[in-house]
Amino acid sequence: MFTGIIETLGSIREIKTKDTNKTYWIESSLGPELKVDQSLSHDGVCLTVEEIKNNLHRVTAIAETLHKTNLGTWKTGDVVNLERCLKPGDRLDGHFVQGHVDTTGTCTGTSNMNGSWKYTIQFPEKFAGLLIEKGSISLNGISLTIFDLTQKEFSVAIIPYTYEHTNLKKLAKGDRVNLEFDMIGKYVNRITLIQNKTEPVENSRNTY
């Protein structure tokens, strides 16, 4: 479980492909503090730390993860958002984030708002029922608030601190982003669908 509050950025140093999997070596200031078997959010994707070497740690993404997230587009030198899992008793500064990405979206526009930055994201229309105006969403692992919501697009805005301390400053039109919809909203939606005996929205595929 995470909160969507990014701790630091990591830099991808090496990528290896074996069969249908990809292994990543990532360098960050968290390296010396990590432990093998620890869960760590990478751009919103919960991955298990498999090996640690000084400031580097290794994780593996399987085929399902590569298909449902943007990890397959990562390149050596790319920067990713990192967050360690939530500890009992910690403040929940963002919202409940599982690290189970629901789908990817595409950035359709960026705007400098003279003190903040606005990003517009297009998402698959079948997920429209899982988003609400002023609701929470995890975008590349960052807890953000939705506005200007339509059936296939929404916008988010970030403050200068978020701009400087996450990889959104590198986000450009056409880039794919990882999206995880609010967990509480997904459960409410599921319960409502069952009670109404309607077909479920594709909202419960835990891909990570």
pTM of the entire predicted model: 0.90
Residues 188 and 112 in one domain: yes
Domain edge (last residue) among 57, 84, 111:
84
Q: How far apart are CA 45 and CA 180, in angstroms?
A: 9
Provide the residue range defining the domain that includes 25: 8-84
Q: How far apart are CA 86 and CA 160, in angstroms?
A: 24
Question: How many structural domains comprise the chain?
Answer: 2
Residues 111 and 58 in one domain: no
**Is residue 98 one of the residues assigned to a domain?**
no
- The per-residue pLDDT for range 65-122, each reduced to its tens digit, is 999 999 999 999 999 999 999 888 888 888 989 999 999 999 999 999 999 999 999 9
Q: How far apart are CA 197 and CA 122, in angstroms?
A: 29
**Is residue 12 one of the residues assigned to a domain?**
yes
